[in-house]
């Protein structure tokens, strides 16, 4: 699988450590959006798209983010210690409040993708200094989904048992 396109949307200086949002295309057929390029203590790194981890309210069963103090549905107070799911790594413990939606499986793959994205980021920074700069569209709207979808098979009619045609 090859990384065939990297689109970088710069965030500017006001965004602090967040430097850019990226859209990655693999083999010209598969897109991963909402990849963040962040300035960390050891340089730029990628944060893959993730979702907030949730649990259920013991009263009403509605989903709530692990840091919520009150249920979004019934308003009941939630246990303050319920988010104490720890993730061990590098000799320290940290709370796990998010889970990756898509991510590289090994360090080699992550390194390869990070290298390509950082190169694309540097190129986009240079382009942004040119007069008339227009940031790239990360939504891949240039693809016409109606043309890309396979034609649906005709619907099959099911007849109840014992009927004739």
For the chain, which residues make up each domain, given as ranges?
1-49+102-144, 51-100
Q: What is the pTM of this model?
A: 0.66
Contact (CB, 8 A) for 101 and 91: no
**H-helix or E-strand containing 3?**
strand 3-10
Instruction: Give me the residue label for tokens 């057929």.
Output: 29
| E strands in 12-137 | 18-26, 30-40, 43-47, 50-52, 54-56, 63-65, 86-89, 92-95, 98-100
Contact (CB, 8 A) for 136 and 8: yes
- What is the fold of 1-49+102-144? Arylsulfatase, C-terminal domain (3.30.1120)
Per-residue pLDDT tens digits of the chain, which is 165 residues long: 899 999 999 998 888 999 999 999 999 999 999 999 999 999 999 999 988 888 899 999 999 988 889 999 999 999 887 766 444 455 555 667 778 888 888 999 999 999 999 999 999 999 999 999 998 888 755 544 444 444 444 343 334 444 444
Q: Which long-range contacts (CB under 8 A, 24 or more apart) does 38-44 make?
A: 44/19, 44/114, 44/118, 44/121
């Amino acid at each position: 699988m090859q990384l065939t396109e990297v689109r970088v949307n710069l965030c500017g200086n006001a965004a602090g450590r967040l430097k850019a949002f990226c859209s990655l295309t693999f083999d010209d057929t598969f897109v991963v959006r909402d990849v963040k390029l962040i300035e960390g203590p050891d340089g730029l790194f990628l944060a893959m798209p993730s979702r907030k981890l949730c649990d259920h309210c013991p009263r009403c069963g509605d989903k709530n983010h692990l840091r919520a103090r009150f249920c979004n549905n019934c308003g009941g107070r939630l246990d303050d210690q319920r988010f104490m799911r720890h993730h061990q790594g590098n000799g320290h413990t940290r709370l796990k409040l998010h889970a990756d939606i898509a991510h590289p499986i090994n360090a080699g793959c992550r390194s390869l993708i990070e290298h390509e994205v950082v190169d694309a980021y540097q190129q986009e920074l240079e382009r942004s200094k040119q007069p008339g700069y227009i940031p790239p569209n990360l939504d891949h709207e240039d693809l016409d989904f109606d043309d890309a979808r396979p034609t649906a098979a005709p619907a099959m009619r099911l007849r109840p048992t014992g009927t004739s045609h």
